[in-house]
Chains A and B, each alone.
Chain A
Amino acid sequence: MKDGTKSRIIKRITVNLEKCIGCRACEMACSGFHAVPKFSSTNPARSRIRVVVEDRKDIYIPIRAAGYTPSECESRNTYSIKDKNYPECGLCNASCPSRELFREPDSGLPLKCDMCESVPPLDEPMCVQVCRCGVLTYDEWEERRDDQVNREQMEIGLQSLVNRYGVEKVMERIEQFSRNVKR
């Protein structure tokens, strides 16, 4: 961080929808990998990847769970690609109150893909390893990000707050806020 830049590893899973054979091995493997001890149980309903299938419409979409969202969208997204109408929210990866997907079946707690973080780390995430048809492929790289950019953005935000509420009020709130906030 000396030079004002931060680095982090970006992990990417690329999904080739055309190649999916709908076998759900990815669901099986993800649920097994996250069992304790590993693979002591399997249950696709606990998987952090789900294959949305509508076989008569030739739709096969493996989606990985992103984070939990406390409120559902007020509008809904549907997509149509090459005359194929994808199901409502079919391409969305949120764990969202409007659907059961990506929630633990017993506790109801949201599920989130953690890229199979583990010690020692896997060469490739589990779902990628078991997908033998090249639908899921994995790569990773290091990204360096300039911290300055963030600072500038923060300043723009602060300035607009000051314009609106005045310096004192903003200072007061920041003080209160910093006392409550968990670090």
Chain B
Amino acid sequence: MRFAETGYNLEIDLTRGNIERVATAPEDSALYLGGLGTNAKIMWERVPPEVDAFSPDNLLVFGTGLLCGTPAIGCNRTIVTTISPQTQLLAFSMMGGFWAPELKYAGYDKVILRGKSPGLVYVWIKDDKVEIRDASHLKGKGAVETAKLLCEELKEPKAQVAAIGMAGENRVYFASIEQSRSSASRGGLGAVMGDKGVKAIVVRGTKDIHLARPAEFMHLCDEVMDYIKFRGENPIPGVIPILAVLGSPQEMAIHDEKWHTENFMWGNARVRRKDFWSEEIAREWTRTMEEMRGRLISCYNCPMHCGATISPPGKPTYMMKCFSKLTYTMAAFSDLAFGLGIAQSATEYGVDGYSAPQVMAFALELLEAGILTENDFPGMPEDSEGRFYWLLDHIVRREGIGDILANGTYWAAGQIGKGAEKYAHNNIKKQEQLPLKLSMLNPVYFLMYCTGEKLNITQIEGQFPQAAFPAREDREAFVKDWFQVPDEKFKQYFLDWEVRGEKSIPSYPTPEMCCDIVDWQERMHYIDDALGMCAGLSSFHLKAPYHIHNYPKFISSGTGFDMDEATLTKAAKRYRTLVRAINTRRGMRRKDEKPPADHWKKRFPELEKELLDTYYTFKGWNEQGIPTEETLRDLGLDYVYEEFLKRGVYSDNGAAPSQAGPAMTGKEV
């Protein structure tokens, strides 16, 4: 008997309409856990580097976390992996909500889609009964609307639906997969789902998920709940509001947006508005939020209620989470009412709330610069808000200029030419990033931006404070109850970190310390992504309820595997290295690992080189960022080494130009 997991994957071949329930190897779960870990193993084994995003041989894997469906609080993530049309690397975004536990209760750990359906279909999973059904009546429908229609059609109010909107159907490179109050947004997962002809996966499950040692497991859950309560009553002093309290950040409940609006850039990640936040704006935005917000809502088995139902005037209600609250507002230089309104359309269309607004602001900058002209935007209104709606509609339909913009800023700039590349300035590995432009290089962040393969800073940062605290006594107070650290040395790193002087950025933390800090932060995200845990209760937060000391106990009492901190750390390193191996095999090299050139004003090329060299060595990668033979063998990834040798990976320094064009231009529908 398997505990915590079901031991079965659902393999669906869309080309042939074939469905199979396949038993998985328990050894793989012990070595790679679940979620991202075992997803990565499947991607490595079955998707060779010649396969591009829109090939029928690309896989789209919906993997539940190892502990999803157990009573572990906030453990509800589905990790979706595929080859991204935008970055042409591994995309692994995750979504919260209810889908992952429901799939577990239906008796599966993963749904693996391959091939392409001849027509638009949806997949209906009810316990042992799995069907591929016609979805032609849902073509062009919104993602949230689709969920509602399918629950009605199937008379299954408790079914959970992961669906794409029009953006996914039209293979927009930053199309998301939406699931009630959450979404898997980054890297164009929705475009791959659309390319496969799948509108939605609907799940209803009524089976049991077992625990190996329930009493022990429940005791750990109680401890986590008590600590959540403690953190609720004791916000962390000295940090910005969203970091003071747990959750994924509490954007729906927190009204004070001074920090985001004054520190993040507006427009196409360009303009800083240092004195933007005023009492009047605070009042107006609070009123907007209170008028449009229905209630705060949670994901499965979590008390944090980070989401909210939002009802913009004259538009249907939708569910919002996190930072999409501000991305449209700030890209369009508008206000919160506009942002909450257009996010309704964006959610139904199913687009990534980071990339989409930046792509639109980028287009308007090109118009202003004369690189694009009025003729490219026939019928576009004059006002900023109207323009954003016009652009969004054209992008998701791939109409006119929207067809090019739908490929994201990197590919669009290449297609437009005439110097447009300069305007696609906020990308890492071809993907739009959060609009942050800062002054002094932060060495910890430098490494995270360069080497993070999830391509999203919020998905690698968290455990260690983002900045030094000015007063030593505040630092001392902070480390006092900081039991989450894997090693006492982290406390010292923080205690000695000053705002100014010798021990301040960029030279402090030293490259060696930076390696430790980045590695710890990243490790916690990778563990979350394998267990299905929400980063809002774990890796995204300082002093989180889940940490390296209680995770091994959760895993061993949940699954029955032998697990201690060392085994868990090694497992996380194993599949983290495998993720890198997949991207290495697809051509990713040192030259690709850099932050946007304008991310910091003050740069230090020599220090940056030293940082990257030190980190690569620390990770067991060579100077190109490729895992070495020794590293691979130590992790039991000998099969990766054999393949690297066969493909001559070690002799490739990345000098050859990467693939010249996007995976697909122009719509086919």
* A residues apposed to B, CB below 8 Å: 18, 21-25, 28-29, 32, 35, 37-46, 52-58, 60, 87, 105, 132-133
8 chain-A/chain-B pairs, Cβ below 8 angstroms: A23-B302, A25-B302, A41-B211, A43-B105, A45-B105, A46-B206, A56-B148, A87-B157
Chain B residues lying within 8 Å of A40, measured Cβ to Cβ, are 210-211, 214
- Establish whether residues A23 and B301, one from each chain, have CB atoms under 8 Å apart when the complex forms: yes
- Establish whether residues B301 and A24, one from each chain, have CB atoms under 8 Å apart when the complex forms: yes
Instruction: Name the CB-closest residue of A to B232.
Output: A132
- Establish whether residues A21 and B303, one from each chain, have CB atoms under 8 Å apart when the complex forms: yes
Chain A residues lying within 8 Å of B316, measured Cβ to Cβ, are 56
B119 CB to closest chain A CB, in angstroms? 28
B62 CB to closest chain A CB, in angstroms? 20
- Establish whether residues B225 and A132, one from each chain, have CB atoms under 8 Å apart when the complex forms: yes
- Establish whether residues B302 and A56, one from each chain, have CB atoms under 8 Å apart when the complex forms: no
Q: Which of B292-300, B494-502, B623-631 contacts A (4 or more CB under 8 A)?
A: B292-300
Contact pick for B297, options A18, A22, A32, A42, CB 8 Å: A22
Instruction: Name the CB-closest residue of B to A39.
Output: B214
Cβ < 8 Å to A, chain B residues 280-323: 294-303, 305, 309, 316-319
- Establish whether residues B69 and A55, one from each chain, have CB atoms under 8 Å apart when the complex forms: no
- Establish whether residues A58 and B309, one from each chain, have CB atoms under 8 Å apart when the complex forms: yes
Instruction: Name the CB-closest residue of A to B210.
Output: A41
* 11 more A-B residue pairs beyond the given contacts A28-B301, A38-B214, with a C-beta to C-beta distance below 8 A: A35-B214, A39-B218, A43-B105, A43-B206, A43-B207, A43-B208, A45-B207, A52-B157, A55-B297, A58-B295, A105-B207
Instruction: Name the CB-closest residue of A to B217.
Output: A39
B473 CB to closest chain A CB, in angstroms? 33
Cβ < 8 Å to A, chain B residues 160-217: 180-181, 205-211, 214-215, 217
Chain A residues lying within 8 Å of B209, measured Cβ to Cβ, are 41-43
| B98 at interface by CB-CB < 8 Å | yes
Instruction: Name the CB-closest residue of B to A43.
Output: B208
B506 CB to closest chain A CB, in angstroms? 43
Contact of A132 with B303 at beta-carbon distance under 8 Å, contacts A22-B298, A38-B214, A43-B206 already known: yes
| B144 at interface by CB-CB < 8 Å | yes
- Establish whether residues B181 and A45, one from each chain, have CB atoms under 8 Å apart when the complex forms: no
Leading 9 A-B pairs by shortest Cβ distance = A45-B206, A105-B206, A23-B298, A132-B303, A41-B208, A39-B214, A21-B305, A21-B298, A43-B208
Contact of A23 with B299 at beta-carbon distance under 8 Å, contacts A38-B214, A39-B214, A42-B69 already known: yes
B533 CB to closest chain A CB, in angstroms? 15
User: Cα distance A53–B300 when bound, in Å?
Assistant: 13
- Establish whether residues A39 and B211, one from each chain, have CB atoms under 8 Å apart when the complex forms: yes
- Establish whether residues B296 and A58, one from each chain, have CB atoms under 8 Å apart when the complex forms: no
Chain A residues lying within 8 Å of B206, measured Cβ to Cβ, are 43, 45-46, 105
| B70 at interface by CB-CB < 8 Å | yes
Chain B residues lying within 8 Å of A21, measured Cβ to Cβ, are 295-298, 303, 305
| B71 at interface by CB-CB < 8 Å | yes
A-B contacts, CB under 8 A, total: 100
User: Cα distance A41–B105 when bound, in Å?
Assistant: 11
- Establish whether residues A24 and B211, one from each chain, have CB atoms under 8 Å apart when the complex forms: no
Indicate the member of B157, B215, B318 with the most A CB atoms within 10 Å: B157
* B residues apposed to A, CB below 8 Å: 69-71, 73, 98, 101, 105, 144, 148, 157, 180-181, 205-211, 214-215, 217-218, 225, 228-229, 294-303, 305, 309, 316-319
User: Cα distance A57–B294 when bound, in Å?
Assistant: 9
A72 CB to closest chain B CB, in angstroms? 16
User: Cα distance A18–B294 when bound, in Å?
Assistant: 10
Chain A residues lying within 8 Å of B101, measured Cβ to Cβ, are 44
B584 CB to closest chain A CB, in angstroms? 40
User: Cα distance A46–B157 when bound, in Å?
Assistant: 16
Chain A residues lying within 8 Å of B225, measured Cβ to Cβ, are 132
User: Cα distance A32–B180 when bound, in Å?
Assistant: 25
User: Cα distance A64–B228 when bound, in Å?
Assistant: 27
Instruction: Name the CB-closest residue of A to B295.
Output: A58
Contact pick for B71, options A29, A60, A133, CB 8 Å: A29
Chain B residues lying within 8 Å of A41, measured Cβ to Cβ, are 208-211
Chain A residues lying within 8 Å of B157, measured Cβ to Cβ, are 52-54, 87
Instruction: Name the CB-closest residue of B to A87.
Output: B157
- Establish whether residues B205 and A45, one from each chain, have CB atoms under 8 Å apart when the complex forms: yes
Instruction: Name the CB-closest residue of B to A32.
Output: B71
Instruction: Name the CB-closest residue of A to B73.
Output: A25
B626 CB to closest chain A CB, in angstroms? 43
User: Cα distance A118–B73 when bound, in Å?
Assistant: 24
Contact pick for A23, options B70, B229, B303, B318, CB 8 Å: B303
Instruction: Name the CB-closest residue of A to B305.
Output: A21
User: Cα distance A45–B160 when bound, in Å?
Assistant: 14
Instruction: Name the CB-closest residue of B to A28.
Output: B301
Indicate the member of A23, A24, A32 with the most B CB atoms within 10 Å: A23
- Establish whether residues A42 and B71, one from each chain, have CB atoms under 8 Å apart when the complex forms: yes
Chain A residues lying within 8 Å of B69, measured Cβ to Cβ, are 42
B171 CB to closest chain A CB, in angstroms? 27
Chain B residues lying within 8 Å of A54, measured Cβ to Cβ, are 157
A83 CB to closest chain B CB, in angstroms? 13
Indicate the member of A32, A54, A60 with the most B CB atoms within 10 Å: A32
Instruction: Name the CB-closest residue of A to B144.
Output: A56
Instruction: Name the CB-closest residue of B to A45.
Output: B206
Chain A residues lying within 8 Å of B70, measured Cβ to Cβ, are 42
Instruction: Name the CB-closest residue of B to A90.
Output: B157
Chain B residues lying within 8 Å of A132, measured Cβ to Cβ, are 225, 228-229, 303
Contact pick for B214, options A22, A25, A37, A46, CB 8 Å: A37
- Establish whether residues B208 and A42, one from each chain, have CB atoms under 8 Å apart when the complex forms: yes
- Establish whether residues A23 and B215, one from each chain, have CB atoms under 8 Å apart when the complex forms: no
- Establish whether residues A58 and B217, one from each chain, have CB atoms under 8 Å apart when the complex forms: no
Chain B residues lying within 8 Å of A22, measured Cβ to Cβ, are 297-298
User: Cα distance A58–B294 when bound, in Å?
Assistant: 7
